[in-house]
Amino acid sequence: MADLIPLSGIVDLTPDEKQPRLWLQVMHDWIVTVDHKKIGLMYIAASLMFFAVGGIEVLLMRIQLAKPESKFLSPEQYNQLFTLHGTTMIFFVAMPILFGFGNYLVPLMIGARDMAFPRLNAYSFWIYLFGASLLYYSILGGKGVFGGSGIPDVGWFAYAPLTENGFSQGNGSDYWALGIFITGIGTIGTALNITATTICMRCKGMKLSRMPLYVWLMLVTSVMALAAIPPLSAAQIMLVLDRHLGAHFFDTQAGGSAVIWAHFFWIFGHPEVYILVMPAFAFANEIIPVFSRKAIFGYPAMVAASVGIAFISFTVWAHHMFTVGMSAVANTAFVLSTMVIAVPTGIKIFNWLATIWGGKVRFTVPMLFCIGFLFQFTIAGLTGIMLGVAPFNWQLHNSYFVVAHFHYVILGGIFFCLFGAFYYWFPKMTGRMMDETLGKWHFWMFVLGFHLTFDFMHIPGLLGMPREIYTYEPGHHWAIWNMIVTIGAFVQAIAVLIFVFNLVRSHFKGKLAGNDPWDAWTLEWATTSPPPSYNFASEPTVRSRRPLWDLKHPEEPDWEYELGTENEMAAK
């Protein structure tokens, strides 16, 4: 039905001329492209590749931990693997895939032709790939003058002074610092681009208060990235200066400060996890309304809560440092800010619940993943509250409880939304639907594996098992839980294989999708699937937050009923 609506002027229906092209021409096209859609797809493809690498890293770790006193890996190998796993998943998978989707979707959703700075966009992608490759080059790069490892083995947050020369011989810490520093340049470029694009390039009629929530959240995420990445980059520069030019920033034996590394890292690190979760919220904000057949409940509160979370997230960082020996007053302050940030986060969950309430829920694969997200993110947020209670944190910090908590957020929350986003926007990106049956297999297997691993991972944490240990003795009663956790990891791996198979197969053989297979309401569904390189033949004009709803329901358009815009005043 959606395809029959006349969208005058927005879509150019002249068929493209298909000329046969050499494979080399196609490759060249992709390498030199500045088209936000192609760049977005390259981000997604590169991230999926690193996801496989990071996944193999963790499967090896889980084999080692399944039994006490296992000799499957040496301590050096294990420590390198957990360093690479964390670094890869955060910096080379989660950040780029979420910004990659943003790259693809933001200009389409605001009716723009491309990003504000297309060449900066391309540069950002390639510099990310270079930084990631530099860090992985450490596997080949050799041991340095003093022996030690080329591969970083200092943990993904690389606490000083362990990373200093005296305790980390070889160049592992340098690869870590420089690889991420360079990738960070790419993140800043994309963040700048998204900010400029959303502020300056919205189509006619799209005031900020009529932007899709996805775009709002990508804007907020980008501004956060601009503020959060520099402290990390600064700390990495200081570390390299310590290691190679005789500085002593973090060298306590020469009067430097070790704890200041932790402050710098977490001033980046906490906003970073919100930078990861906001795009996931953004996906949920688009998918849940469409498959509940209702507008998002409380749009103005959603915007306010998102902006609020962004600001507050810069005040909570030392809840990662409750055990470093801060004063009671300082600990109290960070408990307060950590609990305060729970309020806008809860508001968002309630708004999603209210969106579903009274709707007509369709259990498509994207919606299944978003429902999983809602349950799991609630749990993750609650274990986060537990971790925010500082004395409880004094037991839970650096234990497997924390590992369970943050994987619950990232995998159970963010990645569930991300999988939903794949199934939801794959038709727009490729013109074909993903297979629903394979999608449901993916969903249920992943739910099974996820819960086997991460529900039960909380227990060894409560039983006193620290993190970042390559083995443990029998007699602590940790072994049975570790075995269950490992089994769940392999179940998740199978689910991911099903997903990748579905992606590839559907690309070639999926059912043709048409412009608007889901009967949705935002501007990207008003153009073809996939969109032409110029997105829209002429600039659209919008009168509400759901322009396609207005076209499909001329008798009750959104602009007569929306809250929180001057439409509300005009309607009265």
> Nearest distance from residue 193's CB to other proteins, in Å?
31
Query: Looking at beta carbons only, is 103 or 338 nearer to other proteins?
Result: 338
Residue 516 phi, psi dihedral angles, 5° rounding: -145, 70
Q: Which residue's entry shows tokens 């409380």?
A: 298
How far from 473 is each of 74, 486, 554, CA to CA, in Å? 15, 17, 69
CB of 195 to other proteins, least distance (A): 27
Alpha-carbon distance 224 to 243, whole Å? 30
Q: Smallest gap, in angstroms, from Cβ of residue 366 to other proteins?
A: 14
Closest to other proteins by CB, 15 vs 255, is 255
Q: Taking the complex as a whole, how short is the minimal distance between the CB of residue 158 and other proteins, in angstroms?
A: 10
Query: From the CB of 315, what's the least distance to other proteins, in Å?
Result: 15
Nearest distance, CB of residue 251 and other proteins, angstroms = 8
Closest CB to other proteins among residues 326, 448:
326
DSSP class of residue 541 equals B
Closest approach, Cβ 299 to other proteins, in A, equals 7
**Phi and psi at residue 399, in whole multiples of 5°?**
-110, 175
Show Cβ contacts of residue 57 under 8 Å, excluding neighbours closer than 6 positions. 81, 82, 84, 85, 88
Nearer to other proteins, 294 or 505 (CB): 294
User: Residue 150 Cβ, how far from other proteins at the closest point, in Å?
Assistant: 15
For other proteins, which is the closer residue by CB, 343 or 504? Answer: 343
Tokens for 433?
Answer: 């639907």
CB 11 within 8 A of CB 528: yes
11 vs 387, which CB is nearer to other proteins? 387
Q: Given the complex with other proteins, which of 5 and 374 has the nearer CB atom? A: 374
CA 94 – CA 222 distance, rounded (Å)? 14
DSSP at 474: T
Are the C-beta atoms of 68 and 471 separated by less than 8 Å? yes
CA atoms within 13 A on the CB side of 227: 16
Candidates 472, 458, 465; CA nearest to 387 is 458
Minimum Å gap between C-beta 293 and other proteins is 5
Alpha-carbon gap, residue 539 to 526, rounded angstroms:
12
- Max CA-CA distance within the chain? 76
E-assigned strand segments in 476-528: none
Of 381 and 531, the one with the shorter C-beta distance to other proteins is: 381
Of 309 and 496, the one with the shorter C-beta distance to other proteins is: 309
Residues forming beta bridges with residue 432, ordered by sequence position: 512
Half-sphere exposure of 30 (CA within 13 A, CB side): 11
